[in-house]
Chain A
Amino acid sequence: MRNVYAIGIGITSFTRLEFQLVEIASYPVMFALRDCGLKQVDQLYVANMGGARLNHQTALGSAVVDSCNLLPAGAATIENGPASGAAAIKEGFMAVASGMHDVVVVTGAERMREVNGLEATDFVASLTHPLAEYIYGVTLPSLAAMFTRLYMEKYGVTERHLAMVGVKNQNNALKNEFAHLQQAITLEGILDSEEAFTNNPYVAEPLRFFDCCPVSDGGACVILASEEVAKKTGRPMIRLAGVGQSTDTHAVLARKDPTDLLAVRRAAAQSMEMAGVKPKDVDVAELHDAFTILEIAESEEVGFFKKGEGHLALERGETELGGKIPINVSGGLKGRGHPVGATGVAQAYEMVYQLRGEAGERQVKDAKVGFTCNFGGFGNNVICLTFIRED
């Protein structure tokens, strides 16, 4: 396999966007092409989950490759639920690593605010098992809530720990101009005061409003290329050094231990092994915190902390900016927002931004190794990426 480098990045604001889905997918491509100074590419992948259902738009790849003046490059759309973004990056990685292509554009986009919040939630729930889960009225928040209840019982995680993740990530988002949520929150306001219950009602008990990521529109892009092309850009060399993916049972109830995120563990180990790093070598990470509990659980499964101790590390401030292993300094899904198809690409965007040392106020000092976890389904399709800055 050839080495693969991330040479260009671009992102839109994650918020409610009054643009066509094709435009939301194209803007990040325009920014990323400018970022690396290229006009021609070999292949384009668009990660998207809901175009057909929410926006009456299929075959996004064909639309974006034309709108961005990249004809006659190859193009395709990758749909892999909330892990569509990292799945498209894996495709791009394989295309460059194999030697088939020298430059591959990976863009992710979603336009979910065209429908109301309940419809958006029901749309995401279409990834659940149709007969064993969906018919009961289950939503992603409900699957996360059932997981949370077990986690609380088994490991002593409390609503306070969940709220601490929410406060950390939403306040990190204040340092990210592209993040959806631009409002500071406190434990007082969402947990401890008399108004807390009104401010922060239950969505699916024991998960509250501020435990869940917002529904967002947005797009993000990463351009992958061979070493030869990367060197010509004259930018810091950020290598996509490890790609791991693992799957688990479609229905959550069929897992031997429902608190076990086996696919996260496997994908993370695979990604780090390929990159030749250990969890302790990682300087900065973006974990898929669609729900606050997931940041805690994933921080354990990827190997940063022992199982059942993620909430203790959180208490000690180890996951804050300036801590031992800063997690979701971009705001994560919780603060930056979660346009599902864009999320995995936005995580990769953040790693390139951090490893280049361009992240300004939210820069993790001397970051050399970055790690992302993009969590699809409710943990049934997980992709982890490891990035290394080569000096």
Chain B
Amino acid sequence: MEVYAYKCRKCCHVHYPYKMICHGCGENKHDAFDLVPMTKDGKLLTFTIVHNLPPDFEVPTLAIGIVELDDGMRIMGQLKVQEPELGMKLKGKVEVVRHGDYTDYHGMVFYAA
């Protein structure tokens, strides 16, 4: 499993999450983007420890953060870190982050680097 960014074939602008029309050059056609795997490592931009999780999460609390990746892209992810701190270095892996009714959802999980 992989988490992808969307790179415009015409102007090379990279988007995350996906878009239908390019935000760089306005390219408006089917298949305008190449899928490129997201960079996995970065630093923690902000985070929270959530105590009021949606009912399908079977844990009391969960750390969620926004990570600035080494290439400047940003992504949200779950944090498996003892004591999260702003600016700390993280290593990301793609794992199951939520169990749906019919499918499991994969996304980014970050560990202390």
A residues neighboring B (CB under 8 Å): 117-119, 121-122, 125, 129, 131-133, 135-139, 141-142, 145-147, 149-150, 153, 201-207, 250-254, 258
Contact = CB atoms under 8 A, between A and B. Distances in A.
22 contacts: A119-B55, A121-B52, A131-B105, A132-B75, A132-B76, A136-B77, A136-B98, A136-B107, A139-B52, A139-B54, A142-B48, A149-B46, A153-B86, A203-B50, A203-B51, A204-B48, A204-B50, A205-B51, A252-B66, A254-B17, A258-B45, A258-B46
Contacts of B105: 131, 135
Given A118-B52, A132-B17, A132-B75, A137 B46 contact: no
A136 B59 CA distance: 13
A203 B62 CA distance: 11
A290 to B, nearest CB: 14
Nearest to B105: A135
For chain B, what secondary structure do more than half of its interface residues adopt (helix, strand, loop), or is it mixed? strand
Contact of B54 (A122, A147, A201, A258): A122
Residue from the set B49, B54, B75 with the largest chain A CB neighbour count within 10 Å:
B54
A258 B76 CA distance: 13
Interface residues of B, number: 30
Contacts of A138: 50, 64, 76
B25 interface: no
Interface string B35-53: 0000000000111111111
Nearest to A256: B74
B66 A253 contact: yes
Contacts of B52: 117-118, 121, 139, 141, 203-204
Contacts of A137: 50, 53-54, 57, 62, 64, 78, 97-98
Nearest to A121: B52
Contacts of B62: 137
A146 B47 contact: yes
B55 A118 contact: yes
B65 interface: yes
A288 to B, nearest CB: 20
Nearest to A126: B54
B97 A205 contact: no
A201 B76 contact: no
